[in-house]
């Protein structure tokens, strides 16, 4: 919780922190058991920052063959157009759950989508 408060403070006053030599965090991963409030916490942070937000369920990336990686690229391209933006991917484990065990020799859709997220 304390780390998230620091991130929110940093993002609210980014110019001040950058003058002091701080770097904007590239991301934050909330982990934990189901139904512990991770989604609510992420939405609360978005509300406090009042910035542009993309909220996407992880299942949207693997819904159709050959679409996931392009959706990731499109999402990040749109993100770059906004000065301040948060990308919230709920249940991202859907994308990475089966990494490395696809029958396509590492070229299955989940693996391509996950690799695009990591790039």
Residue 15 has pLDDT above 70, yes or no: yes
Average pLDDT over all residues of the chain: 76
Give the whole-angstrom CA distance, residue 60 versus residue 57. Answer: 6
Could you report the per-residue pLDDT of 55-95, keeping only the tens digit for each?
A: 888 777 777 666 777 877 887 787 777 667 788 888 877 77
Q: What is the DSSP letter of 89?
A: E
Give the three-class secondary structure for 92.
coil
Could you please state the CATH topology (level 3) that the domain comprising 51-119 is classified under. Answer: Rossmann fold (3.40.50)
Instruction: Provide the residue ranges of all domains of the chain, joining segments of one domain with +.
Output: 1-50, 51-119
Work out the average pLDDT over 36-41: 87
At residue 76, the pLDDT reads 78
| Predicted model pTM | 0.63
Give the whole-angstrom CA distance, residue 12 versus residue 97. Answer: 34
Phi, psi of 89, rounded to the nearest 5 degrees: -110, 110
Please name which of 33, 109, 30, 19 lies closest in space to residue 71, comparing C-alpha atoms: 109
Residue, of 118 and 102, whose pLDDT is higher = 118
């Amino acid at each position: 919780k304390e780390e998230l408060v620091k991130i929110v403070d940093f993002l609210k006053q980014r110019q001040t922190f950058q003058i002091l030599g701080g770097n904007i965090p590239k991301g934050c991963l909330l982990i934990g058991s189901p139904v512990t409030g991770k989604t609510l916490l992420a939405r609360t942070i978005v509300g406090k920052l009042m910035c542009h937000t993309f909220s996407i369920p992880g299942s949207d990336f693997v819904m159709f063959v050959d679409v996931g990686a392009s959706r990731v690229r499109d999402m990040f391209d749109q993100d770059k157009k906004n000065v301040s933006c948060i990308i919230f991917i709920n249940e991202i484990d859907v994308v990475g759950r089966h990494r490395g065990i696809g029958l396509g020799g590492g070229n299955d859709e989940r693996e391509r989508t996950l690799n695009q997220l990591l790039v």
